């Protein structure tokens, strides 16, 4: 093997890059495609329909999403006269990048040579990065210069105040239990079936609802509520940029799911990472992804069951019930730490 090729391979599997491009973008994108298909198919099953079918009848319409993606790609991108062009274009792109950026802070293995960026505060960094993207939804709504976009953006802003604290407190309860901000240590502490989600279901529940609020999943699909604000902040978007908006929302939910899988569902456990690329990196990350995908499937199933709450009711629920729940989860974590379980 010539040195150039091996250099290229080294660069490709250089953990930070590999993590961001493959595990942060490509694999989640594949999962998202599967999840959207799954969402449409389960909803169709519940609603006694067939769902996606005609694009590829043999694999139950699995290629429908690819076809949709193609359509988005070749659709004309219309930029209305009244929008503020630079933020209008930039906001979805930055939102997309920011939604996948937290992946670089998330280790998918305990093998130190495959840490993306090894650090002791990876949980905090991941959470901090994850909360940046909603700002650009608001920017997109503002730049669109359309009333429905503006109202959608404002709704997003309202919801940030509701879910941010819940997400923070419920995820940080893991640190309270394990005494560490390092995701690797948090995962390793859960070895042997001591999953935090099982021992502290309150924090897990709060985190799940926080994620639903944050990624506007049903029953909190409020900022994009079609029948009041058309498509919320994305009303004026079309073509690929609109596709990016929609994709970014799903990617964000995927990243959240990965984080939940790491923090509450034991990460790559029960598998113990060994040396080498395959057993030390590939297999543990697949385990994490499977857990995250199951979470995504649960999230998307809710679409078939629930309607959407009103904005003030969502805020009400968040502050009156879910925030105390998250705090209770934090307290439970402290109790777990006191009892010396971790």
Partner 1 sequence: MSGIVRGNVGFNDLKIPGMWSRKIGKDLYEVFIGPQHPGSGHMRIIIRIDGDIIVEAEPDMGYVHRTMEKLSEGRAWIKAIPLFERMAIHDACNVTLPYVRAVEKLLGIEAPLRAKYLRVLLCEINRIAAFLYGFGIFGVFLGHSTMYMWPFGDREVWVELAEWLTGARLTHTYPVFGGVRRDVPEGFTDSLRKAIRYMRRRLEDYRKIFVDNPVIRARLEDVGVIPRNLAIELGITGPNLRASGVRYDVRKNHPYEVYDELDFEIPVFQEGDAYARVHQRVQEILQSLRILEQVADWLDKHPREPVMHERFWKTAPPLYKKIFQETGRVKLGAVMAIMKIPQGKAYERGETARGEISYYVESDGGNKPYRIRIHSASARNALVYKYIVPGHRVMDLPAIYGSIDYFPPEADR
Residues that bind partner 1 (CB under 8 A): 43, 46-49, 81-85, 142, 145-148, 150-151, 218-219, 221-222, 225-228, 230, 303-313
Closer CB to partner 1, residue 113 or residue 313?
313
The contacts of residue 336 (CB under 8 Å, 6+ apart) are: 177, 199, 200, 342
DSSP readout, 78-128? ---TTS-HHHHHHHHHHHHHHHHGGGGG--S-S-GGG-SS--TTHHHHHHH
The contacts of residue 74 (CB under 8 Å, 6+ apart) are: none
Q: How far is the CB of 87 from partner 1 (least distance, A)?
A: 10
Q: How far is the CB of 136 from partner 1 (least distance, A)?
A: 17
Closer CB to partner 1, residue 10 or residue 310?
310
Q: How far is the CB of 127 from partner 1 (least distance, A)?
A: 28
Q: How far is the CB of 315 from partner 1 (least distance, A)?
A: 10
Residue closest to 223 by CA, chosen among 171, 162, 167: 162
Q: How far is the CB of 79 from partner 1 (least distance, A)?
A: 12
Closer CB to partner 1, residue 141 or residue 273?
141
4-12 LR contacts (CB < 8 Å, sep 24+): none
Closer CB to partner 1, residue 101 or residue 151?
151
Asked if 158 contacts 220 with a C-beta cutoff of 8 angstroms, the reply is no
Tell me how far apart the alpha carbons of residues 250 and 270 are, in angstroms, rounded to a whole number. 27
Calculate helix-pair angle for 239-263, 27-46, nearest 10 degrees: 90
Closer CB to partner 1, residue 148 or residue 163?
148
Closer CB to partner 1, residue 304 or residue 335?
304
195: left (phi over 0), alpha (psi -120 to 50) or beta: beta
Residue 219: cis peptide before it, omega within 30 degrees of 0 = yes
* DSSP conformation class of 22: I
Closer CB to partner 1, residue 48 or residue 58?
48
Q: How far is the CB of 228 from partner 1 (least distance, A)?
A: 6
Q: How far is the CB of 110 from partner 1 (least distance, A)?
A: 41
């Amino acid at each position: 093997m010539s040195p150039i090729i091996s250099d290229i391979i080294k660069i490709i599997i250089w953990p930070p890059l590999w993590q961001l491009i493959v595990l942060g973008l490509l694999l989640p994108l594949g999962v998202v495609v599967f999840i959207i298909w799954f969402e449409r198919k389960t909803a169709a099953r519940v609603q006694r329909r067939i769902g996606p079918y005609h694009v590829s009848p043999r694999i139950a319409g699995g290629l429908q999403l690819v076809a949709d993606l193609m359509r988005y790609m070749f659709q004309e991108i219309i930029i209305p006269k009244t929008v503020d062009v630079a933020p209008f274009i930039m906001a979805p792109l930055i939102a997309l990048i920011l939604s996948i950026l937290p992946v670089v802070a998330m280790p998918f293995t305990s093998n130190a040579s495959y840490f993306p960026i090894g650090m002791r505060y990876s949980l905090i960094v991941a959470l901090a990065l994850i909360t940046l993207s909603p700002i650009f939804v608001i920017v997109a709504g503002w730049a669109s210069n359309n009333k429905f976009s503006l109202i959608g953006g404002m709704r997003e802003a309202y919801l940030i105040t509701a879910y941010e604290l819940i997400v923070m407190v419920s995820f940080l309860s893991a640190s309270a239990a394990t005494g560490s901000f390092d995701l690797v240590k948090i995962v390793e502490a859960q070895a042997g079936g001591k999953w935090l989600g099982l021992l502290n279901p309150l924090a897990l529940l709060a985190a799940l609802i926080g994620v639903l609020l944050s990624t506007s999943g049903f029953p909190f699909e409020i900022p994009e509520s079609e029948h009041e604000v058309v498509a919320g902040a994305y009303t004026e978007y079309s073509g690929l940029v609109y596709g990016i908006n929609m994709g970014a929302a799903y990617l964000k939910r995927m990243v959240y799911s990965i984080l939940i899988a790491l923090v509450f569902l034991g990460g790559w456990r029960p598998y113990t990472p060994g040396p080498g690329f395959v057993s030390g990196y590939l297999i543990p990350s697949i385990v994490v992804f499977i857990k995250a995908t199951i979470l995504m499937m649960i999230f998307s199933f809710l679409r078939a069951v629930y309607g959407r709450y009103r904005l003030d009711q969502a805020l009400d629920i968040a502050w009156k019930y879910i925030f105390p729940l998250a705090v209770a989860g934090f307290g439970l974590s402290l109790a777990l730490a006191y009892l010396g379980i971790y």
